[in-house]
Amino acid sequence: MTDQPRDAHDDMAEAILAGDRRTLSRAITLVESGRADHRARAEALLDRLAPAGRQALRIGLSGTPGVGKSTFIEAFGGLVTAQGLRVAVLAVDPSSARSGGSILGDKTRMERLARDPRAFIRPSPSQAQLGGVARRTREAVALCEAAGFDVVLIETVGVGQSETMVATMTDLFVLLLAPAGGDELQGVKRGIMEMADLILVNKADGDLKAAATRTTADYAGALRLLRKRPQDPPGFPKALPVSALELAGLQTAWEEMCKLADWRRAEGHWAATRASQARDWFEEEVRAGLLARIARDPAIRARLDALGAAVAAGTAAPSRAAAEVLAALD
């Protein structure tokens, strides 16, 4: 046995706890890796960092392309760092594998924030499946928290599934929308509306200002019709107009986020949500591990294929076939 790997992890953990950005970047690369030896190192590192117990305010930010997410993050991030706080920005982009593009990947985005010493911006890796993205993002958040960031912003494009995933790993969920042309709501899925703590109608400036005001009122009305959640103080979830371009309404949006976070902390919702999120994460890891074990074992794989064919042909019931595969694991 050698002490070397343990020392390497200790050094890395120490550097992250000291806020070293280069080590943080390397550690995120490590958690993104699919290699088994990297996975083992990532797990050892995360285990070493967990006892520090540092927590950031985790904010999920979702919006369709073009709504102004990067403009908003640049402006909002600048506002937060101007208050002496440190902000990390992570991206979740399961669609990038398909589109070939990558949100946050474009170097011209968020130039000012990228140069801000209190900010850390991490683009999404180009190849990722949703399951892998969830793990990578959770672990990247944990690394950023250990590195002492006060706010971790997780950006996602409006594709439904990724929003749900981000909502399971954040303290607040913010939906960024554009002003609507007509008086109809913009086809935002009810499920996504139900996850929102704050709806921000962006581009409330110039010619779009009146439409943004109307849209904000429409969404405020729609939010009031949703079922009341125990984790909401009176008045939440709420809709507000903002202009990322003119930096209007951003301070108010930040104050509302802080108000909501403080209330949830005081009422015990924060700790309860974090605890259940951690438990869900753990169970998901167990499930993923089990599936990986099944995939690795050639005998079980062969059985899986044969039973799969039988189920497809209608000669075996899915539940009984599944039970047979699971019995093979004993």
Residue ranges binding ligand GDP (CB under 6 A): 63, 65-71, 202-203, 205-206, 208, 243-245
Cβ proximity to ligand GDP, 45 vs 201, nearer residue? 201
For ligand GDP, the closer of residues 63 and 237 by Cβ is: 63
The least distance separating ligand GDP from the CB of residue 206, rounded to whole angstroms, comes to 6
Nearer to ligand GDP, 63 or 125 (CB): 63
Joined together, the tokens standing for residue 288 give 């993923």
Q: How far apart are CA 270 and CA 171, in angstroms?
A: 7
CB of 103 vs ligand GDP, minimal distance in Å: 7
Nearest to 156 by CA among 93, 87, 73: 93
**How far is 29 from 46, CA to CA, in rounded Å?**
13
CB of 221 to ligand GDP, least distance (A): 23
Beta bridge partners, 273, equal none
Closest-approach residue to ligand GDP (CB): 68
Q: Report, in Å, the least distance between residue 254 CB and ligand GDP.
A: 16
CA pair distance 50, 64, nearest whole angstrom: 34
Quick one: 203 or 269, whose CB is closer to ligand GDP? 203
Q: In what order do the strands lie in the sheet containing 87-92?
A: 119-122, 87-92, 151-157, 57-63, 172-177, 198-201, 238-241
Backbone angles phi, psi at 199, to 5 degrees: -105, 125
The nearer residue to ligand GDP, 23 or 202, going by C-beta atoms, is 202
Least distance from ligand GDP to the Cβ atom of residue 34, Å: 28
Q: Quick one: 107 or 296, whose CB is closer to ligand GDP?
A: 107
Burial class (CB in 10 A: 0-12, 13-18, 19+), 170: buried
User: Least distance (Å) from ligand GDP to the CB of residue 264?
Assistant: 27
**What does the alpha-carbon distance between residue 256 and residue 315 come to, in Å, rounded to a whole number?**
58
